[in-house]
């Protein structure tokens, strides 16, 4: 587990605060820089699956049909009858129709839709809307809260295996679309009359299964913060609390994409210190979650934005991806490799040099992956012109790590496309530093020769032991092997050598390696791949 923050927003739901492996903190949510000397208990980053449980589906109770009385259109706010008609419409629109059954509340649904249109007509007229009192604006906000704040239907757990964000339309959308239009008009015309407590109430609506609803909530926060920029940091904290709740498996992953979009936009006015706190403590831990596919596009854009804003964020992102590179989930491996390939050129030469071993160890492991998608994603690093330029500067450190893997993949990988990518990478290495490649090929050829001689000596020793029991076969073989290794280390100019993998397979001792042939002619790089079919 990784200690990630002492300032992260924490769910106020006490039921989940006490759960095992949950987030724990003793501090109030803030965006202040972390104090490393603080003795307060830090938060803990987790990696787990959201537990949807076996809750019953909320199909609604089919009771008695509700009745909504007709009221005339709203007169101008200056009219004596306005308040009475306005209050009756508010009361009627606070009744929730049953959309779980198409034949339930038929007349009430049509009447409520008409009343909501009356409110839209009032707010669309700037002159009439400007005359609304703060009390009437508050009544509209209460009506909006009654219609939008609801318990979302449970989703089968299999939906969380999906590689795309699930979209389940809200059944009450015929009414909700009017509700959100009213809300957006209020934000535009009466932002000062909307308290921040109301904004906090509707943050959970970002977790709606309906994409249309999530978009409307996102528009609300965008417009609200545009009108009231002094509240932006407070809104950011509210949104980051949703990230914490998701990591704490309190909420599903539906709203994370929208949260990332809003936070990215609001962070444009934040200082570099706050930006680093946001990405390190809240954004990066999302890479470890099981639903990364739900918000990978927004995640990439958010990470790119923060890296462009501050150079130190580049190191934070790359170090996190290298440290938590997935070993089992291939789709996540591709995501990580794609982001790493785009991020590595942003490193300074000094930072790149200190991470060469880690970077090319992981990319080498990915190049050998049985998944061609993972291998192809890894080889994109070698085709990046920006990466090629920086590799050329550190060729003497990169190629000793990479060449053994590249030659192995070029000869033994099952995918023809992957083998071709490996050959291209070797050609680039030869073009960049022919001497290193030639020396590596010569060392491989010498080891093949010594391996064949060792095999002959082993057979001779076995025959001798049959005639003379005092002959120790094991000692003779070990003696020759040690001498051969000493010779290889003496002749080999680079540290990372690798025995030809073909010699480990039966029947391969007679095969001539093109790498050995190319070693005799350093100007040519020819890798003879194994013939196989995809």
Q: Can you list the pairs that 357-366 forms with residues at least 24 positions away whose Cβ atoms lie under 8 Å?
A: 357/401, 358/322, 359/322, 360/398, 360/401, 360/402, 361/401, 362/322, 362/325, 363/337, 363/402, 364/401, 364/402, 364/405, 366/333, 366/337
77 alpha carbon, distance to own chain's centre? 50
How far apart, in Å, are the Cα atoms of 506 and each of 451, 458, 509, 510?
13, 16, 8, 10
Q: Each residue of 407-429: pLDDT tens digit?
A: 999 999 999 999 999 999 999 99
pLDDT at residue 490, as a whole number: 41
Contact 238, 200 (CB under 8 A): yes
Q: For tokens 């909504």, name the residue.
A: 68
CB burial of residue 367 (10 Å; 0-12, 13-18, 19+)? buried
How far apart, in Å, are the Cα atoms of 369 and each of 62, 140, 334?
55, 58, 11
pLDDT at residue 167, as a whole number: 77
How many other C-beta atoms are found inside a 10 Å radius of the C-beta of residue 529? 17
Q: Which residues, other chains included, contact 276 with Cβ-Cβ below 8 Å and sequence gap of 6+?
A: 306, 310, 312, 313, 316
pLDDT at residue 8, as a whole number: 43
Q: What residues of the chain score a pLDDT lower than 70?
A: 1-64, 153-166, 445-534
pLDDT at residue 169, as a whole number: 82
CB burial of residue 389 (10 Å; 0-12, 13-18, 19+)? exposed
pLDDT at residue 249, as a whole number: 84
Contact 378, 417 (CB under 8 A): no
Q: Each residue of 281-308: pLDDT tens digit?
A: 999 999 999 889 999 999 999 999 999 9
Please state, in angstroms and rounded to a whole number, the distance separating the CA atoms of residues 409 and 140.
66
Phi first, then psi, for residue 44 (nearest 5°) are -125, 130
pTM score over 0.85: no
pLDDT at residue 248, as a whole number: 86
Kindly calculate the radius of gyration of the chain based on its CA atoms and give it in whole angstroms.
33
507 Rama sector, left if φ>0, alpha if ψ -120 to 50, beta otherwise: left
Please state, in angstroms and rounded to a whole number, the distance separating the CA atoms of residues 443 and 485.
11
Closest CA to 145 of 211, 227, 205: 205
Phi first, then psi, for residue 3 (nearest 5°) are -80, 120
pLDDT at residue 10, as a whole number: 44
Please state, in angstroms and rounded to a whole number, the distance separating the CA atoms of residues 47 and 49.
7
Please state, in angstroms and rounded to a whole number, the distance separating the CA atoms of residues 464 and 338.
58
Cross-strand pairs, 44? 3
């Amino acid at each position: 587990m990784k200690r990630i923050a002492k300032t992260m927003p924490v769910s106020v739901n006490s039921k989940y605060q006490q759960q095992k492996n949950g987030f724990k903190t003793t501090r109030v949510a803030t965006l202040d820089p972390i104090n490393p000397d603080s003795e307060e208990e830090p938060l803990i980053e987790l990696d787990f699956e959201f537990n949807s449980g076996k809750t019953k589906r909320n199909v609604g109770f089919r009771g008695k049909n509700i009745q909504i009385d007709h009221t005339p259109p709203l007169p101008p706010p200056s009219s004596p009858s306005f308040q009475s008609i306005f209050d009756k419409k508010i009361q009627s629109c606070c009744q929730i129709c049953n959309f779980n059954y198409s034949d339930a509340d038929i007349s009430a649904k049509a009447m409520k839709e008409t009343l909501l249109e009356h409110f839209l007509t009032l707010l669309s007229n700037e002159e009439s809307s400007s005359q609304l009192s703060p009390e009437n604006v508050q009544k509209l906000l209460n009506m909006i809260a009654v219609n939008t704040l609801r318990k979302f239907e449970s989703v089968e757990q299999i939906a969380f295996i999906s590689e795309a964000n699930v979209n389940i339309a809200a059944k009450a959308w015929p009414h909700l679309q009017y509700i959100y239009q009213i809300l957006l008009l209020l934000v535009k015309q009466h932002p000062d009359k909307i308290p921040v407590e109301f904004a906090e109430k509707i943050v959970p609506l970002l977790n709606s299964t309906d994409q249309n609803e999530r978009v409307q909530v996102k528009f609300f926060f965008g417009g609200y913060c545009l009108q009231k920029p002094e509240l932006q940091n407070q809104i950011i904290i509210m949104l980051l609390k949703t990230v914490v709740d998701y990591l704490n498996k309190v909420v599903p992953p539906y709203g994370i994409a929208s949260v990332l979009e809003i936070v990215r936009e609001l962070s444009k006015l934040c200082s570099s210190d706050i930006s680093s706190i946001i990405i390190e403590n809240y954004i990066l831990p999302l890479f470890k979650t099981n639903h990364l596919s739900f918000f990978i596009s927004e995640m990439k854009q958010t990470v790119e934005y923060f890296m462009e804003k501050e150079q130190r964020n580049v190191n934070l992102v790359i170090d996190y991806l290298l440290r938590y590179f997935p070993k089992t989930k291939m789709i996540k491996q591709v995501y990580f490799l794609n982001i790493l390939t785009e991020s590595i050129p942003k490193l300074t030469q000094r930072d790149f040099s200190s991470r060469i071993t880690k970077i090319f160890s992981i990319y080498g492991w990915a190049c050998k992956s049985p998944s061609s998608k993972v291998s192809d994603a890894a080889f994109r690093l070698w085709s990046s012109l920006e990466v090629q330029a920086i590799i050329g500067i550190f060729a003497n450190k990169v190629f000793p790590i990479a060449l053994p893997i590249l030659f192995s993949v070029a000869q033994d990988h099952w995918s023809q496309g992957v083998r071709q990518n490996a050959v291209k990478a070797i050609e680039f290495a030869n073009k960049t530093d022919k001497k290193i490649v030639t020396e590596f090929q010569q060392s491989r050829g010498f080891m093949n020769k010594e391996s064949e001689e060792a095999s002959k000596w082993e057979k001779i020793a076995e025959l001798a032991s049959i005639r003379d029991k005092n002959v120790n076969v094991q000692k003779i073989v070990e003696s020759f092997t040690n001498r051969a290794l000493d010779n290889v280390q003496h002749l080999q100019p680079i540290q990372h050598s690798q025995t030809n993998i073909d010699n480990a397979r039966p029947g391969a001792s007679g095969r001539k390696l093109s790498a050995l042939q190319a070693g005799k002619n350093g100007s040519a790089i020819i890798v003879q791949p194994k013939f196989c079919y995809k």
